[in-house]
Amino acid sequence: MSKTDHHDRRQPQPYRPYRWPKEPDGHSGGIWFGGDYNPDQWPEQVWAEDVALMKRAGVTMVTLGIFSWARLEPSDGVWDFGWLDRVVALLGEAGIAVDMASATATAPYWLYQAHPEVLPVEADGTLVHPGTRQSWRPTSPVFRRYALRLCRVMGEHFSDNSTVVAWHVGNEYGWNNATDYSQDALKAFQGWCRRRYGSIEELNQAWGNDFWSQRLQNFDQVPLPEHAGVRDAFINPALRLDFRRFCSDALMDFFCAERDQLQELTPDKPLTTNFMVSTDQCVLDYERWSHQVDFVANDHYFAHGPGHLDELLCSDSLVDAYAQGHPWCLMEHSTSAVNWRIFNASKRQGELIRDALAHVAMGADAVNFFQWRQSAFGAEAFHSAMVPHAGPNSAIYAQVANLGGILRRLSQSGLAGTQLEPSSIALLFDADCQWSMADSTLPDCSIDHWQQVYIWYQALLDAGYRADVVPLKGQWERYDVVVLPSLILLDQDQADRLRDYVSGGGRLVVDFASGIMDDHMHVGLGGYPAVLRDLTGIASQEMIALGTSDQGGGSILVSEGIEGNIWVNEPLSIEDSVRVLARYQGSRSYDIDMAGKPAVTIHGYGQGRVLYLGTGFTKESLVSVINRIFPPDFFTGAAGRGLHNGRDGDPRLVHLIRSGPQGRYHFYFNRGSTVVRDVSTMGETLVVQRATPYSGGGLSGNRYTIGVHGVVVTRQ
Ligand code: GLA
């Protein structure tokens, strides 16, 4: 293959030097605390009260101007910075720093009216009208001209302003324009394909265009995966996957242009943009994006229910990996309910502070909320905020102020700048794999890579282990155990990396849906998972979908109380050196001719071992697989290095450590639904929330009873 972008995409990309916002007086020290501030929604008299309340709550930084383009440029080329300057001055006098937005997230109506050609188009050809946010196509040269002009004016205006300590470029790129099917997008996609493949023949091969007469003669024929009738799901999967890659790259390219314009004018101010990593969405390929920011920032909104904290930790773990061990910024989370789910649960007592501290434990050195003052009008009037509609005499503001005090104390103790200590188990995540499973034509279309990562993350916690979520392209060789949770796409280079890892003594878990296809979604032949077959020592010939009882199917028994789901891989061949750890049993196994066939196996390879799971598992079953079927020493190194969650391995407790030259900071969280008694903590106690001394007291070597949603932080 020629040296095209296709080749380059697989090579490690350089990172920008890490730069973190410094306090206006040049000091860098504390944990930033604040949120999105939208003073343009309020009369000017309210601003002074805002700043006074911010001071009272310990706010140190706010993000300004995210959606202010229409106020800053009321008509084409006419600027009004007066109001923003007054807000910045008020904040500056109070010692509150500003993370200034490029203000380009949403354009004013006049721009859309004058240039409807910037509006995105949906897959079915429908024009996206203005009215919400991000009603623009990243590939529009017209929109880029206007946005970069705004960046230039913003950069010039604030270049000497020391209150502005960082740039917040755009906002949640891809929230409303993750995909665009416009003519601009088509042209850009054709160029992207040309760069990626070099020749149309390479592309024809990569996309398997001999299937259904899709062979192309030149790059001008390259289509977008537009609406193709009721059989939409059957659009060429390789084309669709490349389109998702292109869309993420197109937005990133737009971000980089804005970033570079601002940086040229304000080289001393670090730049970032807020990612959207949570286990119900991972919109863009943030591994690639993470190379383009000065520091990583993420927005996280909680998932209500018993997995609330687990989901937060799982998402943050991936964010921390993107941040490469540097502190990162929690750019948004909520004080309580959001208003964009069907059921918008409020946070329960203690969850506001617990969540914020969980983000800190996972590596955040900035804790911000959306938003400062709850809107009185507009689409987000019922979204919680730091100052709710009821005003400062409210439970939420009191908790916000309480949190401000806690963060100040942690800052004074020197926590900022320390790093989350890694675990020894890596769960690999890859955006390509996630995209390839959306609209899938797989044996079972309910499978979702990111969900499988989360199932593993939670199951390991329940079994007493904490894992790290690491990008497939990241550095996972240093882990004792690497798990592939339905990592369906693996190309030869990646498989070779895994081979080297296991040869050198690594322990690998390959699940039922891993390594089936390459990065163009071509299936590996000769028995699944072709690319890993020598590692697993077992090859499969068919995937037998299990379905649910509602669908006339049902799970399969692997061992007493352990049920497989999604699909079962029917073995084709097994090497003699493979040891079978569990076999299918029960009536369903007879029904599909799998009775007695291997379900879980282990295979020595080089110095290492490969554990293979031939079927999917629910979280509950996976816990039992780990506890009862995995060889007892499989996680030995992991447990030995202190990863077991707390005392006697009580899985209700999560113990996270941040460390640096300043010391080791221990965070003990109760992730369960009952009180955890007699938790021994290490060092001097810094924070006690919803916890009480178990016995004794004093300031070191304490034991605590940690209540539901409770947390204790100590320093050693
Ligand atoms: C996103 C946006 C914010 C706000 C919040 C509400 O994160 O960036 O502007 O709309 O959602 O949850």
- Tell me how far apart the alpha carbons of residues 323 and 317 are, in angstroms, rounded to a whole number: 10
> Tens digit of pLDDT for each residue in 471-486?
999 999 999 999 999 9
Residue 585: closest CA among 611, 615, 612: 615
Interatomic CA distance for residues 568 and 544, integer angstroms: 5
Q: Residue 329: phi, psi to the nearest 5?
A: -110, 125
Contact, 250 vs 138, CB < 8 A? Answer: yes
How far away, in angstroms, is 383 Cα from ligand 1 center?
9
Tokens 């640096």 belong to: 660
CATH of domain 3-420: 3.20.20.80
Q: Which two tokens stand for residue 374?
A: 């709850």
Q: Do 3-420 and 653-715 fold alike per CATH?
A: no
Question: Which atom of ligand 1 has the smallest separation from the CA of 274?
Answer: 8
Centre of ligand 1 to C-alpha 714, Å, is 33
| Residue extents of the structural domains in the chain | 3-420, 425-629, 653-715
**Higher pLDDT among residues 445 and 3, named by residue:** 445
Query: Can you spell out the DSSP letters for 599-643?
Result: EEEEEEETTEEEEEESEEE-HHHHHHIIIIIS-TTTTHHHIIIII
Read off the tokens for 633.
């020493």
Ligand 1 centre distance from Cα of residue 514 (Å): 34
CA nearest ligand 1 atom 2, residue: 172
pLDDT of residue 26: 61
In the structure, what pLDDT confidence band is assigned to residue 5 with cuts at 50, 70 and 90? low
pLDDT reading at 646 higher than 50: no
Q: Is 171 part of any known ligand binding site?
A: yes
Give residue 223 CA to ligand 1 midpoint distance, Å. Answer: 33
Sign, CA torsion 130/136/137/141: positive
User: What pLDDT does residue 637 have?
Assistant: 63
CA 639 to chain CA centroid, nearest Å: 26
Q: Which residue has the tokens 């097994």?
A: 574
Nearest atom, ligand 1, residue 171 CA: 8
pLDDT, tens only, 74-93: 999 999 999 999 999 999 99
Reported confidence tier of residue 289, pLDDT bands at 50, 70, 90: very high
**Ligand 1 pocket check: which of 99, 332, 368 to mutate, most ligand atoms within 8 Å of Cβ?**
332
Nearest to 189 by CA among 219, 228, 214: 219
Q: What is the DSSP letter of 499?
A: H
Q: Which of 274, 281, 360 is nearest to 316 (CA)?
A: 360
Q: Which atom of ligand 1 is nearest to the CA of 299?
A: 7
Average pLDDT value for residue range 5-14: 72
How does pLDDT run across 56-69, given as a tens digit for each residue? 999 999 999 999 99
Q: 369: CA distance to ligand 1 center in Å?
A: 9
- How confident is the model at residue 6, as a pLDDT? 61
Q: Are strands 425-429 and 468-471 parallel, antiparallel or unpaired?
A: parallel
DSSP result, 322-334: HTTTS-EEEEE--
Span 544-583, pLDDT tens digits:
999 999 999 999 999 999 999 999 999 999 999 999 999 9
Residue nearest to atom 12 of ligand 1 (CA): 338
- Position 640 scores a pLDDT of 42
Among protein residues, the one whose CA lies closest to atom 3 of ligand 1: 370
Output the ligand 1 site: residues, CB below 6 A.
171-172, 299, 301, 332, 338, 370, 380, 383
Percent of the chain with pLDDT over 90: 90
Closest residue (by CA) to atom 9 of ligand 1?
370
Most confident of the following: 228-237, 422-431, 676-685: 422-431
| Nearest CA-CA partner of 361 in 313, 397, 404, 315 | 313
Q: What is the Å distance from ligand 1's center to 467 Cα?
A: 29
Given this model, what pLDDT does residue 643 score?
A: 45
SS3 string, 409-450, reads: HHHHCCCCCCEECCCCEEEEECHHHHHHHCCCCCCCCCCCHH
The answer to whether residue 201 is catalytic is: no
Give me ligand 1 centre to Cα 541, in Å.
Answer: 46
Who wins on pLDDT, 643 or 507? Answer: 507
**Is the torsion defined by CA of 220, 225, 229, 231 positive or negative?**
positive
What was the pLDDT predicted at 641? 42
Residue 280 has pLDDT above 90, yes or no: no
Residue 2, pLDDT score: 44
Residue whose CA is at the smallest distance from ligand 1 atom 5? 370
- Which of 38, 41, 106, 172 maximizes ligand 1 atoms within 8 Å of its Cβ, making it the mutation to test the pocket? 172
Q: Of residues 73, 258, 287, 332, which has the active-site annotation?
A: 332
Pairing of strands 598-605, 297-299: unpaired
The phi and psi torsions of 295 (rounded to 5 degrees) equal -145, 150
Residue 351, pLDDT above cutoff 80: yes
Residue 340 annotated as binding site: yes
Least confident of 240-249, 442-451, 577-586: 442-451
Rounded distance from Cα 358 to ligand 1 centre (Å): 20
**Ligand 1 center–CA 7 separation, angstroms:** 36
List pLDDT tens digits, range 303-331.
Answer: 999 999 999 999 999 999 999 999 999 99
Of 384, 130, 178, the closest CA to residue 281 belongs to 178
Q: Is 298 annotated as a binding residue?
A: no
In testing the pocket of ligand 1, which one of 38, 299, 333, 341 has its CB within 8 Å of the most ligand atoms?
299
**Quick check: 328 and 365 in contact, CB under 8 A?**
yes
Q: Are 413 and 686 in contact (CB under 8 A)?
A: yes
**Which ligand 1 atom is the nearest neighbour of the CA of 67?**
9
Answer whether CATH 3.40.50.880 is correct for domain 425-629: yes
Going from the C-alpha of 13 to that of each of 3, 10, 16, 176, the distances in angstroms are: 15, 9, 10, 27
Q: State the closest ligand 1 atom to the C-alpha of 332, by its place in the atom list counted from 1.
A: 7
Distance 370 CA to ligand 1 centre (A): 6
For position 638, what pLDDT does the model report?
Answer: 54
Confidence at residue 11, expressed as pLDDT on a 0 to 100 scale: 75
Question: What is the C-alpha separation between 348 and 345, in angstroms, rounded?
Answer: 9
Dmax of the chain from CA atoms?
79
Q: What is the mean pLDDT of residues 487-505?
A: 97
Question: Whose alpha carbon is nearest atom 11 of ligand 1?
Answer: 370
Q: Is 332 labeled as catalytic in the residue annotation?
A: yes
Q: What pLDDT, on the 0 to 100 scale, is given for residue 356? A: 98
CA distances from residue 92 to 71, 407, 691 in whole angstroms, order as listed:
21, 21, 37
- What number does CATH give the domain 653-715? 2.60.40.1180
Choose the catalytic residue: 73, 172, 258, 287.
172
What's the mean pLDDT in 425-444? 93
What atom of ligand 1 comes closest to residue 340's alpha carbon?
12
**Residue with CA closest to ligand 1 atom 4:** 370
pLDDT in tens, 245-263: 999 999 999 999 999 999 9
**pLDDT tens by residue, 454-472:** 999 999 999 989 999 999 9
Burial of residue 619, with CB atoms counted within 10 A of its CB: 0-12 exposed, 13-18 middle, 19 or more buried: middle
User: Is the CB of residue 321 less than 8 Å from the CB of residue 457?
Assistant: no
